[in-house]
Amino acid sequence: MSTRLSHVTVPVLDQDSAKAFYTEKLGFEVRDDMTLGDLRWLTVGPKDQPDVVLVLRKVGPPEYDEETAGQLRDLVSKGVIGVGVLHVDDVRALHKRLRAAGVTFVQEPVKRPHGTEAVFRDDSGNWFSLTDARG
């Protein structure tokens, strides 16, 4: 049995906007961008980590009925969804670069027991922790 995580679904409000955010601001690469029937399969990932894939999935049918999709869109846009942690070499330098690129931070870099951490939101509202274990 395999226990290795490969894909993580990130709920997004607009796939084109999300694609631009993750590639142009975060520097991820597009892994897949194709249409499968009514579904657009859009994935991105860190250039130096080919075995990790973020599925940028538009919230809506066929996974959710319209009422549920509307509720999830509201939660995403309010910034309630935390997606994960991105380990970085220098959180302060990356924070400065991303802020200059227009990325919204909800927490400035702060020293924590596990290192220095900053928290940003993607263009849909999902939040990520940037963590520099060196602190």
Q: Are 13 and 6 in contact (CB under 8 A)?
A: no
Contact 59, 74 (CB under 8 A): no
| pLDDT tens for each residue of 111-135 | 999 899 999 999 999 999 999 987 6
Q: What would the two tokens of residue 36 be?
A: 């499968």
Identity at 98, one-letter amino acid code: L
What CATH code would you report for 7-131? Answer: 3.10.180.10
For residue 62, cis peptide bond before it (omega within 30 degrees of 0): yes
pLDDT bracket for residue 63 (50, 70, 90): confident
Interatomic CA distance for residues 23 and 116, integer angstroms? 24
- Count of residues for the chain? 135
**CA–CA distances in Å: residue 50 to residues 31, 37, 45:** 9, 26, 7
Beta partners for residue 55, in sequence order: 9, 43
- Tell me what the mean pLDDT of segment 78-91 comes to: 94
Longest CA span, the chain: 47
Asked if the model's pLDDT at residue 2 lies above 90, the reply is no
What's the CA gap between 11 and 102, in Å, rounded? 21
Q: What is the pTM of this model?
A: 0.92
Please tell me the distance from the alpha carbon of residue 64 to that of residue 89, in angstroms, as a whole number.
38
pLDDT of 106 over the 70 cut: yes
